[in-house]
Amino acid sequence: MQPLIWESRPDGLRAPALVCAFTGWNDAGDAASAALRYFGASLGATRFAQIDPEEFYDFQATRPRISLVEGSTRELQWPSVEIYEARVPRAPRDLVLLSGPEPSFRWRSFTRLIVDLAEALGTQLVVSLGALLADVPHSRPVGITGFASDQGLTERLGLQPSGYEGPTGIVGVLHAACADAGMPSASLWASVPHYVAAAPNPKAALALVRRLESLVGVTVDAEELEVAAGDYERQVSLAVQSDPDVQAFVERLEKAAEEEEEDLDPTELPSGDVLAREFQRFLRQRGPEDGPDVARGR
């Protein structure tokens, strides 16, 4: 059986971008996978294909799950990579969203399969989302690092290139496969405070959503995620205040972050014109019928 299982064939996708997120090593605080899920849910994405897990996963590391259907029938659910289409008529492009666990085996075959899928769909850009643990405070804006195969795109997005060298995950292998195939690609990484590594981090997910919007030209209503990010920051702050040692450590991180911000060149920050263009694009994409909700701040 072929590993790529088509459920339907999406036709007429407009200049699609393929956006990928993998749970596991690349997904600190579940931020990358949460950002992709939020994008998909906001755009009403529908699944059209899966990657069969048999060749790519160690089922002792990524185990299948048993669930009860209607309280009685036991159903076995295998880990799999799911692929969705999201059509956005008022945006300049449609999206293909790919999500699943980081595979255990045959990474070169796995990423070649994704590149072949992207080529078959006429994909113009492959984007990966990731999140990493870092010495950053939860109370400051989430830092986004990354790179793009096109240096001009890196500069336009104002990405801070990562200087990381060392072990990589499936995301690094995927971008190498894209480079070998001559396919444009970009990677976005959110920094997650290491002292709250085990908790889902909607604040980092929100930062990835916002940067992804700028990259692909598709905007979503992130009000729900904004509320979750605010709740997260308040709850973590309360927990930090209850432990003097942790509070002192976080204050040192905040001071270091402030000193780093003071060294930034103001010309590298987004201008008012850029922010205004992003907001106008959001209004155009939602359309006239959504105007009253936007006026009320929804």
Beta bridge partners of 84: 47, 97
The reported pLDDT for the residue numbered 283 is 43
Which residue type, as a one-letter code, is found at position 214?
S
Q: Is residue 119 part of a domain?
A: yes
Q: How many domains does the chain have?
A: 1
Angle at CA 114, nearest 5°, toward 16 and 104? 140
Q: Which helix (H) or strand (E) holds 47?
A: strand 46-51
Q: Is residue 132 part of a domain?
A: yes
Angle at CA 226, nearest 5°, toward 258 and 126? 85
Q: Is residue 77 part of a domain?
A: yes
Which residue type, as a one-letter code, is found at position 207?
A
The reported pLDDT for the residue numbered 161 is 64
The reported pLDDT for the residue numbered 246 is 86
Expressed as residue numbers, the domain containing 23 is 4-264
CATH of the domain at 88: 3.40.50.10900
Mean pLDDT by 10 residues, the chain (298 residues): 90 95 94 96 96 93 87 84 95 96 95 96 95 91 87 71 78 93 93 90 96 92 94 92 88 86 51 43 48 33
The reported pLDDT for the residue numbered 101 is 95
The reported pLDDT for the residue numbered 71 is 73
pTM of the model: 0.83
The reported pLDDT for the residue numbered 72 is 74
